[in-house]
Structure 1
Amino acid sequence: MSTDLISTVTTGTVQELLREAGLEARLAGTTEQPQIVSAVAGINFNVRFGTPAKDGSGWTDFTFSAPFTVDQEVSPVIGAFWNRRNRFARVYRTQDQLLLDMDVIVAGGVTRAHVKYLTAVWADVAQIFVRHLRADHAVLARYKAAGGKAATATSAPKAAAPAPTAGAGSDAARQRPPANATRGNGKSDGLGEKAHASGSS
Structure 2
Amino acid sequence: MNDTTTNINQATDTAAATAQHLDLLDAVTPEQVSDAIKAAGAAVTTIEQNGVVRLHSASHGVGFQVLWGNPVTTTQYTDFTLSCPLHVQGGTLPEAVLASWHRTKRFARVAQHGDLVVLEMDVVVAGGVSPAYLSFAMRLWMQMMGEFFLHLRNYGPAAETRGDAANGGAVGEAARDVPAAA
TM-score (norm 2): 0.74
**CA distance in 2: counterparts of 1:105 and 1:126, whole angstroms:** 19
Q: What displacement does 1:141 show?
A: 9.7
- Helix, strand or coil at the partner of 2:111: strand
1:120 is matched with which residue? 139
RMSD: 2.5
Q: What displacement does 1:131 show?
A: 0.8
The code of the aligned residue for 2:107 comes to: F
- Helix, strand or coil at the partner of 2:95: coil
Q: What percent identity do the matched residue pairs reach?
A: 31
Q: What displacement does 1:31 show?
A: 3.5
Matched, 1:172 2:145: no
Q: Tell me if the contact between 1:46 and 1:178 (Cα under 8 Å) persists in the aligned partners.
A: no
The code of the aligned residue for 1:68 comes to: L
Q: What displacement does 1:140 show?
A: 7.0
Deviations 1:8-56 (A, max 9, x none): 1111111111112221111125145432110112121111111101x54
**CA distance in 2: counterparts of 1:15 and 1:178, whole angstroms:** 20
Q: Tell me if the contact between 2:88 and 2:172 (Cα under 8 Å) persists in the aligned partners.
A: yes
- Helix, strand or coil at the partner of 1:110: coil
- Indicate the structure whose relative CO is greater, using CA pairs within 8 Å and at least 6 residues apart: 1
Query: Structure 2 unaligned runs (5+)?
Result: 1-20, 162-166
Larger-Rg structure? 2
- Helix, strand or coil at the partner of 2:122: strand
Matched, 1:129 2:127: no
Q: Cα distance 1:79–1:21, how it changes in 2: closer, same or farther (>3 A)?
A: same
Q: What displacement does 1:171 show?
A: 1.8
Which of 95, 102, 106 is equivalent to 2:121?
Answer: 102
**CA distance in 2: counterparts of 1:116 and 1:142, whole angstroms:** 33
The code of the aligned residue for 1:14 comes to: V
Q: Tell me if the contact between 2:40 and 2:136 (Cα under 8 Å) persists in the aligned partners.
A: no
Correspondence 1:42-191 to 2 at 5 A: 42-53=61-72, 55-72=73-90, 74-136=93-155, 138-139=156-157, 170-179=168-177
Q: Tell me if the contact between 1:29 and 1:179 (Cα under 8 Å) persists in the aligned partners.
A: no
Q: How many residues align?
A: 152
Higher fraction of helix: 2
Q: Cα distance 1:142–1:20, how it changes in 2: closer, same or farther (>3 A)?
A: closer
The code of the aligned residue for 1:174 comes to: G
Q: Tell me if the contact between 2:42 and 2:58 (Cα under 8 Å) persists in the aligned partners.
A: yes
TM-score (norm 1): 0.68
